[in-house]
Structure 1
Amino acid sequence: MRASGYLATSALATAVSAQNYLGFSTGSTKIDGSAKAQADYEAEFTAAQKLVGAPGIFNAARLYTNIQGGSTSDPIEAFAAAIATNTSLLLGIWCSGTTTIEPELTALQAGLTKYGSNLADLVIGISIGSEDLYRNSVTGVENKAGVGANPDVIVGFINDYRAAFNTTLLKSVPVGHVDTWNVFPNATNKGVIDAVDWVGLDEYPYYQTGEGNTIENAANLFKTAYDAAKAAVGDKPVWVTETGWPYSGMTWDEGVPSVANAKTYWDAVGCDMLFNKVPTFWYDLTDDNAGNNQSFAITDNLSTQARFNLSCPATTASSSSAAAATATGTGTGTATNGSTGSGSKTTVTGIATATGASSANTSASGASATATGVTTTNAGAVLNLSIGTLVGVVAFACML
């Protein structure tokens, strides 16, 4: 697929105020619908930390609720599991379809009272809501995404949380909201952006019907979504709270589930753009939502040996120089004398080198690649390889 070295100059390079956590989003139920207990969470968190070949230690977890399944306001048993496994927690307060978050606040306060700093020291953030604005958007309604919440409701819940915990051990924990990328540029949601310390991005190119959602275009779609969200929220840090590609399930427009495509997405988006660069919570380690028609889990039965190789390519586009794009190989191009007018043109065949490209797109297969729009300046002359097939070693960084 196309190389995807966007990090160096895209919005993804913007510094975040938090450590660049690696983790998974995890639901409160098992695939059969039963509530997870402490032992289930411990097994999950332990497996995540021991994944063979992982590009770092996945020792963080994102939760969607603070309430233990089967109860109305008991603290979720993931708290105890996180303490036992030293797992950092991005907490979640469920906000859709309700007029109050009091049960969530009660459960969190009970957990804090029970575990004190042992819990508080592991909490890296708290999200007030998850995709609530999307569910209430035109797209969400068309997709029958369920009952959401309007922005003024979310802002009210944010204020409720801050008032309840501003003198507790969690008073300094950054507060955020998680949603799909397309709600953040919507001006009606600006109040939510203004009310939080960070935003969480749930982004799945696989589901982007009508936008060329092939696996080959997935990295481009992800980058476009991230950059649009980042531009909308300004200096607020953006965390990636859900992303992934299914290994099985239905074909979604042009999005095809397969183990090979899940690995390609892991490399092109996870390795090349996110891991150890942006706080990232992949979806997901193990299947825990029976309502999904697709399976995203990277493991079976919490095996530490994932269904595909988790190691990142030895050389990725984003690990190359951040200041220039360099391509070297054999090719054919057109040299133009002079910078204006209709100067003479000469076809050049041989070794071409492009440095400092501002727009270079590649498609690599084996030892060959195609370079488009690469320019280099040498003693006043301009060599424009508008269509040149380069064969040899190709290394690109700073693609856009």
Structure 2
Amino acid sequence: MRAIAGYLAVSALAMTASAQNYLGFSTGSTKIDGSAKVQADYEAEFTAAQNLIGAPGVFNAARLYTNIQGGSNTDPIEAFAAAIATNTSLLLGIWCSGTTTIQPELTALQAGLTKYGSKLAKLVIGISIGSEDLYRNSVTGVKNKAGVGADPDVIVGFINDYRTAFKSSLLKDVPVGHVDTWNVFPNATNKGVIDAVDWIGLDEYPYYQSGQGNTIDNAANLFKTAFDAAKAAVGDKPLWVTETGWPYTGMTWDQAVPSVANAKAYWDSVGCAMLFNKVPTFWYDLEDDNAGNNESFAITDSLSTKARFNLTCPPPGVVSSSSSAASSTSSATKGSSGTKTSSVSKATGTGTSTSAAATSTTTTNAGAVLNLSIGTIVGVVAFACLL
């Protein structure tokens, strides 16, 4: 065990949280074999999350990337029914990249509300209009071939479309946000998006921050630095941590080594010390659900409630030290700003959606949520996923 330096500033992070601090996982809409998840799959996932042995709280929230059930055009995602059955809070997502309209998403969400009414509405804690769209269209995102994104004016337009469509619905008081990487928010051209939402969700992966001393021992420093930069940019808007984690297997990125020991060290130094029960947090992830990812981040196998490492948080001020944080390097292409560079998306939404390589004018059908794998959306790594 080793003492954590004074870089945590937990109280500052806690100040950005909303009244209730949710614990959950980000979850894609497909299984590892690429098939669409159905209600039973989501129920098993949500139940396992709520019963994790040694967890620092109950993980009874889930972040979705789409409202559309895979294999359909506008049918509501079956995660809705699963959430009702397991009393799981939902951070809903509307996929915005690679499309000129979010009407299919809005239709699916309305269909869900019509079918489930207040049983669904009372579980919705927020809705994100887009996920890493600004990053993918940024200079860094284009350089890293992160896939099709959306410009800020497009995202603002989609935010307005959602607000107009649901202003008199059961979701009229649900806070609206946008999820992206930390480094897009300091860019003044994206200020319109910040102004248009109620909260900001940040995706941050120190693991991918090659060229910045991305050893496991420096991960917490990198995470907080990214968070502070994003916080300075978004001002008084609450920050939600919508994705973060460390892989247990995969490629070595510069000085970042995937291993179970390092995944545990990251859980302790970032999750336990900075996030859990302090800011709304959606870890990435509970189970592997995308075979296209170069790295595996899942904390459990086969939805076992016994995770691959001890989930119990260490006493305040200490964190387990990893003995496997080797400094070997990889020749793979890496994003200098800590962005993910695989070509498949972790955030999956199934159906006839466009792929990360599709043109940005393609309409998102049936939950068309591009399968941008955690490896796919590069450069976001340094995203302050903190809330």
- The alignment's TM-score, normalised by the length of structure 1, stands at 0.78
Distance 1:364 1:57, change over 3 A: closer
Cα displacement string for residues 92-147 of structure 1 (whole angstroms, at most 9, x for unaligned residues): 00000000000000000000000000000000000000000000011111111100
Give the stretch that moved more between structures: 2-11 or 106-115. 2-11
**What residue is the counterpart of 1:125 in the other structure?**
126
Q: Do the aligned partners of 1:263 and 1:309 also contact (CA within 8 Å) in 2?
A: yes
Q: Give, in whole Å, the separation in 2 of the partners of 1:138 and 1:20.
A: 34
**What residue is the counterpart of 2:240 in the other structure?**
239
Q: Do the aligned partners of 1:2 and 1:216 also contact (CA within 8 Å) in 2?
A: no
**What residue is the counterpart of 1:160 in the other structure?**
161
**What residue is the counterpart of 2:259 in the other structure?**
258
Cα displacement string for residues 46-79 of structure 1 (whole angstroms, at most 9, x for unaligned residues): 0000000000000000000000000011000000
Q: Give, in whole Å, the separation in 2 of the partners of 1:208 and 1:11.
A: 23
Cα displacement string for residues 274-326 of structure 1 (whole angstroms, at most 9, x for unaligned residues): 000000000000001122100000000000000000000023369xxxxxxxx
**What residue is the counterpart of 1:330 in the other structure?**
none
**What residue is the counterpart of 1:338 in the other structure?**
none
Q: Do the aligned partners of 1:54 and 1:310 also contact (CA within 8 Å) in 2?
A: yes
**What residue is the counterpart of 2:38 in the other structure?**
37
**What residue is the counterpart of 2:141 in the other structure?**
140
Q: Give, in whole Å, the separation in 2 of the partners of 1:108 and 1:364.
A: 44
Q: Give, in whole Å, the separation in 2 of the partners of 1:177 and 1:15.
A: 16
Q: Give, in whole Å, the separation in 2 of the partners of 1:144 and 1:97.
A: 14
Q: Do the aligned partners of 2:23 and 2:57 also contact (CA within 8 Å) in 1?
A: yes
> One-letter code of the match for 1:16?
A
Q: Give, in whole Å, the separation in 2 of the partners of 1:231 and 1:2.
A: 27
Larger radius of gyration: 1
**What residue is the counterpart of 2:50 in the other structure?**
49
Distance 1:79 1:209, change over 3 A: same
Q: How does 1:279-294 map to 2 (within 5 A)?
A: 279-294=280-295
- Say which structure, 1 or 2, has more relative contact order (CA 8 Å, 6+ apart): 2
Q: Do the aligned partners of 2:152 and 2:192 also contact (CA within 8 Å) in 1?
A: yes
Q: Give, in whole Å, the separation in 1 of the partners of 2:151 and 2:21.
A: 30
> One-letter code of the match for 1:123?
V
Give the paired residue count.
321
Q: Which has the higher strand share?
A: 1
Q: Give, in whole Å, the separation in 1 of the partners of 2:317 and 2:57.
A: 16
Q: Give, in whole Å, the separation in 1 of the partners of 2:20 and 2:211.
A: 36
**What residue is the counterpart of 1:99 in the other structure?**
100
Q: Give, in whole Å, the separation in 2 of the partners of 1:234 and 1:80.
A: 36
Which runs of 5 or more structure 1 residues have no equivalent in the other structure? 319-362, 366-400
**What residue is the counterpart of 2:317 in the other structure?**
316
Distance 1:149 1:18, change over 3 A: farther
Give the stretch that moved more between structures: 205-214 or 308-317. 308-317
Q: Give, in whole Å, the separation in 1 of the partners of 2:5 and 2:303.
A: 30
* 2:160 corresponds to 1:172: no
Distance 1:37 1:315, change over 3 A: same
Q: Give, in whole Å, the separation in 2 of the partners of 1:31 and 1:304.
A: 19
**What residue is the counterpart of 1:20 in the other structure?**
21
Q: Do the aligned partners of 1:212 and 1:254 also contact (CA within 8 Å) in 2?
A: yes
Q: Give, in whole Å, the separation in 1 of the partners of 2:184 and 2:119.
A: 35
> One-letter code of the match for 1:14?
M
Distance 1:210 1:10, change over 3 A: farther
Q: Do the aligned partners of 1:96 and 1:147 also contact (CA within 8 Å) in 2?
A: yes
Q: How does 1:263-342 map to 2 (within 5 A)?
A: 263-316=264-317
Distance 1:279 1:9, change over 3 A: closer
**SS of equivalent residue, structure 2 residue 224:** helix
Cα displacement string for residues 325-371 of structure 1 (whole angstroms, at most 9, x for unaligned residues): xxxxxxxxxxxxxxxxxxxxxxxxxxxxxxxxxxxxxx999xxxxxx
Q: Do the aligned partners of 2:63 and 2:242 also contact (CA within 8 Å) in 1?
A: yes
Q: Do the aligned partners of 1:124 and 1:173 also contact (CA within 8 Å) in 2?
A: yes
**SS of equivalent residue, structure 1 residue 262:** helix
Q: Give, in whole Å, the separation in 2 of the partners of 1:6 and 1:83.
A: 40
**What residue is the counterpart of 2:114 in the other structure?**
113
**SS of equivalent residue, structure 1 residue 140:** helix
Aligned alpha-carbon RMSD (Å):
1.6
**SS of equivalent residue, structure 1 residue 89:** strand
Q: Give, in whole Å, the separation in 1 of the partners of 2:5 and 2:80.
A: 37
Q: Give, in whole Å, the separation in 2 of the partners of 1:10 and 1:85.
A: 32
> One-letter code of the match for 2:86?
T
Which runs of 5 or more structure 2 residues have no equivalent in the other structure? 323-387
Cα displacement string for residues 356-398 of structure 1 (whole angstroms, at most 9, x for unaligned residues): xxxxxxx999xxxxxxxxxxxxxxxxxxxxxxxxxxxxxxxxx
